[in-house]
Structure 1
Amino acid sequence: MPSTPVRVKGRSLVEGAAQGALLFAEVGLSFWGGVDPASGEVIDRHHPLSGERLAGRVLAIPSGRGSCTGSSVLMELISNGHAPAALVLAEADEILTLGVLVAQVIFQRSLPVLCVGHEAFNGLRGQGFVRLEDDVLTLTGRRPNDGWQGSDAASQLPTASTLELTEQDRALLDGAHGKAAQVAMHIVLRMAEIQGATQLLDVTQAHIDGCIYTGPASLRFAEQLVQWGAQVRVPTTLNAISVDQRRWRALGVDPALGEPASALGDAYMAMGAQLSFTCAPYLLDTAPKAGEQIVWAESNAVVYANSVLGARTQKYPDFLDICIALCGRAPLTGCHLDDPRKARLIVDVPALGKVDDSFYPLLGYHIGSLAGRRIPLIRGLEHAAPNLDDLKAFGAAFATTSAAPLFHIAGVTPEALDPAAVLASDVTVPQESVDAAGLLASWRELNSARDNWVDVVSLGNPHFSLSEFAALATLCAGRIKHPYVVLAITCGRAVLEQARKAGHLTVIEAFGAVLVTDSCWCMLGEPVIPPRATTLMTNSGKYAHYAPGLVGRGVHFGALADCVEAACTAATHGQPPMWLQPTARTGSPTHV
């Protein structure tokens, strides 16, 4: 620790003054699924800060990662007094910054956010106490006895001087279309300034992730917009909410959650959003086309839209999504442009023999951790022909460990059919290689269960597709699950009806499955997960990562067929798939 104060100058994303003991980690943190919004405890059991509490401490992380709902969790923490005193980042993070900006507007409470760059950030390791004043971070080693007091910044509403605004933009900003649209435009312009955008662009549709209930603050935000007369200006779909709105009482959900979570969905529909309630909006008939400029939130949906559909969206934070939907305008920056969509990392994948469907979520999880914030070009899958379900599973797991909004797979995803076309030309692009040992380490990270018993089988994170229902029906045909095991599937209402018409549900319900619409596994808990249950099994890399922190259970991760077998026997072998076991691999690996 320094004997004399050391000062570091950075870029202030949100002004203010605060001090506290430094809580440092060199790994990004997803606040959704990684931090308890009611207590501020880090609950991501894979993170080095697991078990730490954020309140009153200066949190230093390279950036956020994972879910777009991190902004909602941070706003919740600010409103209930469990937030960190300040955030210090290596890279600007829009999700976390947006949560602070909305807390300023709605609750008149804030915390300073400072971006210091990677070199200065790495120098914070081992420091004991820090003080932040606007764009200066002072390392004092220990708390000075000088009576210093921090302060929140007042709500910072931008001027229009640095942005090119249309006449319609100015009308929104001046309140001609009501207070909700005016406040929304203020927030959009504030974020545009932080992002360095000089103009806005029109978007054709929105997908809202802020309808997930993280606590009273998330509902207050939405209801405040409704009271201000909010109405969306573009077609808008809604993400999965925190309960099955039609059946939460029948499922035994506590009204303390069911009522506000359902009311939150109603509030967004009152603004003109469609009743979709799915975390997989790309399965709807309204899915965007290649090149379409959209505003989507929900991390897996963003990655799928950019990567698989070739649409264009940033990884929008909760609340910025609805603000843009109310304006119809988004900052012209990031993945809305050509150059930021280029790959800045090459990842080579070897052949591993005949793989099962657990390969793609595991590979996405592993490559996401290699990529960080960099967009990767993945080589070696040119002849593997991953289907849309494979790409959905890959993207959801990738978005769990990476902060990047996009991936390219050479010869597979639309922008990488010519791989050279997606490589950044202004830098030397580094290369990484995936090997079986690395994948095995990631498999072990996802398999946190301590015994081979299985109480619950979790399917549908992201929401099940029609083709996944067809595959499951084939696996379940003529079988009955173990009476002790709960097998539950989450899906959107539209896909559920498609599966019913196709006849898949007759087989699946005869097997003994529970079907849950509107909500998703990242929001489900007891009693859908029985209180007696200690161990889950899932084919989702995303849920295998988040479940230990969200529901406090150990997890087995495996292929869909393994999940069905576990549902029948109430147990699993707990071993890696054959294609990851050394005895199943011979010779030198070659590309698929």
Structure 2
Amino acid sequence: MSEAVFSGIAFVHGKATGEIIASDVELSFWGGVDPATGEVIDRHHPLSGRILTGRILAIPGGRGSCSGSGVILELLLNGKGPAAMIVERADDILTLGVVIAEEVFGKVIPVVVLDPKDFRRVTAARYARVDGDRVLCGEAPEGLSPREDGRHPPKPIASRLALTEADRALLNGARGKAAQVAMKVVLRMAELQGADRLIDVTQAHIDGCVYTGPGSLRFAQQLRDWGGTVAVPTTLNSISVDHRRWRTQGIDPVFGEPASQLGDAYVDMGAKPTFTCAPYLLDSAPRKGEQIVWAESNAVVYANSVLGARTMKYPDYLDICIAITGRAPLAGCHIESSRRAALRVNLPRLENLDDSFYPLLGYHVGLLAANRIPVIAGLERAFPSQDDLKAFGAAFATTSSAPMFHILGVTPEAATLNDATGGADVPAIDISLESLARSWDELNNAQDPSVDLVSLGNPHFSLNECETLADLCRGRTKHENVTVIVTCGRATHDKARGTGVLRELERFGVQLVTDTCWCMIIEPVIPRAAATIMTNSGKYAHYGPGLTGRRFHFGSLAACVEAACTGAAGGPRPSWLQVG
């Protein structure tokens, strides 16, 4: 294309020139980009294998994990990040990583939102120069010179927000440097989200305790050393190691020490060492209508959709900033009108479902929905369990950027279609068995039927899942060459020990790991010789190939136990998924 100039909205101001790397598919930076190299490692993404470093990244927006902001921070601090990001819709996770880099570390790249039509034209160009809110495109970097157009500088922070006296006191440093910086970050994100005021929250769940690299530790320790303390009850997500046992598990101290120290920094700020990615299983789980700040994508989706609590899909680092201030932007799913379905998904007639159906459906619906909140019709008589909804939500949050879903007749805000949509006439998509089968094949990318490791508990296993697994293992013998590992929270582990379930699992040869989860687990917890992994998690079947370099089988919990006993998987699809 010839040289063209586009105007957008600069959520982070700056200047950059570089080659464009573009896709029309959203990208999760966590599990999708290697923070040490800048390589796209999501093996399901069109940009797989490409290097982002120094390029102008143009994508519609982010998706998947809240930890994407942490990966972006690491990329910017180690010089492996893109030179600028151009998106077609506001994205909290992508922007927040850059905001933290600027506010705390003085590193910045521009982030610009363009109109969808202009965004598509930019993706067709080879080079771009970003200058404030302008994007200049052409076939060569020469000639992409800045142009003066008399635009006014951005409005000062919080100029469009109605602040209370307490808000202003925090911004002026009344509670110290940590609370002051935290409030500045909250207000910048409130501006991005279009909020006109802040609200009080009752609790927080922190995902920023996941170790993405030195930057994540530097950030947490800086807040702590500035005197940061949480203002509301706060729980912690899974961290990157089993905090109590990583040394005996053989984890390299080069990784284990800072990963453990990161958890300690958040505990020092007053957070509880719950270390679980399933905070909805804790006794402190919020009630319907409760305004909270949760990060971790599956937890956010479950809280909004299944519990009826109200939270946005908060990026890493914004979570602790809100926990310190106790104040969150009144935007997104905190508002009734923003919780309504914008898409109806109709299921075919299905019978004899097993538990692999729900993670598969979540994965598939997430791809269809993208950033839209869906309402799923056709499960009114299926009576999915808490664990089914957990598995659905985790997979949905992996492939979608939407903060919640509705299931007609199942979830609390979808008693009727009118309840879910607010009476709006929304577009509909019919899912076929053939399309579900294609998603099944995407999650089963291993050609070799052999299985070396069975991975369970992403998200963390519930006590009920531990009991079901024990029943499936009872009276059976594990194959000597197969490792079986379950991850769960400390609270669930203690309950399993108290009921005797733990003894049955250990008799079979199951290893239980607490505090961490599969998206963070590395060798040698994953045996170095393991080439093929089987899981019942749609989330891990998606992220796992890029994170581990292994091939994956996906199936039901019963199929995972069968593979653990025989050392092989890859049989026919389940009966409910037999096509023609």
Structure 2-normalised TM-score?
A: 0.97
Secondary structure class of the residue paired with 1:87 = strand
- Could you tell me how far apart the structure 1 residues matched to 2:377 and 2:300 are? 22
Q: 1:350 Cα shift? A: 1.3
Q: 1:483 Cα shift? A: 1.2
Q: 1:106 Cα shift? A: 1.9
Aligned ranges for residues 180-195 of structure 1 at < 5 Å?
180-195=178-193
- Could you tell me how far apart the structure 2 residues matched to 1:159 and 1:552 are? 44
Secondary structure class of the residue paired with 1:545 = helix
- Could you tell me how far apart the structure 2 residues matched to 1:280 and 1:205 are? 15
Q: What stretches of structure 2 of length at least 5 have no aligned partner? A: 148-153
The answer to whether the aligner puts 1:452 opposite 2:435 as a matched pair is: no
Q: 1:148 Cα shift? A: 8.0
- Could you tell me how far apart the structure 1 residues matched to 2:257 and 2:146 are? 43
Aligned to 1:323: 321
C-alpha offsets along residues 340-395 of structure 1, whole Å, 9 cap, x if unaligned?
00100000011222111000000000000000000001101001000000000000
C-alpha offsets along residues 98-157 of structure 1, whole Å, 9 cap, x if unaligned?
0000000222011000110222222233311111111111111112068989xxxxxx99
Instruction: Give the aligned residue type for 1:494.
Output: A
Aligned to 2:500: 503
C-alpha offsets along residues 71-115 of structure 1, whole Å, 9 cap, x if unaligned?
000000000000001000011100010000000022201100011
- Could you tell me how far apart the structure 2 residues matched to 1:528 and 1:159 are? 46
Instruction: Give the aligned residue type for 1:582.
Output: V
Aligned to 2:472: 475
Aligned to 1:301: 299
Aligned to 2:459: 462
State the number of aligned residues.
Answer: 575
- Could you tell me how far apart the structure 1 residues matched to 2:210 and 2:572 are? 35
Aligned ranges for residues 71-82 of structure 1 at < 5 Å?
71-82=69-80
Aligned to 1:170: 168
Aligned to 2:244: 246
- Could you tell me how far apart the structure 2 residues matched to 1:531 and 1:391 are? 33
Which of 284, 287, 290 is the aligned partner of 2:288? 290
Aligned to 1:11: 9
- Could you tell me how far apart the structure 2 residues matched to 1:524 and 1:77 are? 20
Aligned ranges for residues 27-66 of structure 1 at < 5 Å?
27-66=25-64
- Could you tell me how far apart the structure 2 residues matched to 1:269 and 1:345 are? 41
- Could you tell me how far apart the structure 2 residues matched to 1:71 and 1:6 are? 30
- Would the aligned equivalents of 2:434 and 2:579 in 1 still touch at CA under 8 Å? no
C-alpha offsets along residues 10-66 of structure 1, whole Å, 9 cap, x if unaligned?
111111111111101010000000000111100000000000000011000000000
Secondary structure class of the residue paired with 2:73 = helix
- Could you tell me how far apart the structure 1 residues matched to 2:449 and 2:540 are? 18
Q: 1:480 Cα shift? A: 2.2
Aligned to 1:130: 128
Instruction: Give the aligned residue type for 1:577.
Output: P
Aligned to 1:493: 490
Aligned to 2:531: 534
C-alpha offsets along residues 515-562 of structure 1, whole Å, 9 cap, x if unaligned?
100000000011011111110000000000000000000000000000
The answer to whether the aligner puts 1:571 opposite 2:568 as a matched pair is: yes
Aligned to 1:267: 265
Aligned to 1:513: 510
The answer to whether the aligner puts 1:205 opposite 2:213 as a matched pair is: no
- Would the aligned equivalents of 1:344 and 1:424 in 2 still touch at CA under 8 Å? no
- Could you tell me how far apart the structure 2 residues matched to 1:378 and 1:340 are? 17
Instruction: Give the aligned residue type for 1:530.
Output: P
- Would the aligned equivalents of 1:158 and 1:186 in 2 still touch at CA under 8 Å? no
Secondary structure class of the residue paired with 1:124 = helix
Q: CA RMSD in A?
A: 1.5
Q: 1:424 Cα shift? A: 4.3
Secondary structure class of the residue paired with 1:506 = helix
Q: What stretches of structure 1 of length at least 5 have no aligned partner? A: 150-155, 584-592
Q: 1:470 Cα shift? A: 0.7
Structure 1-normalised TM-score?
A: 0.95
- Could you tell me how far apart the structure 2 residues matched to 1:406 and 1:134 are? 33
Q: 1:416 Cα shift? A: 0.5
Aligned to 2:150: none
Instruction: Give the aligned residue type for 1:527.
Output: P
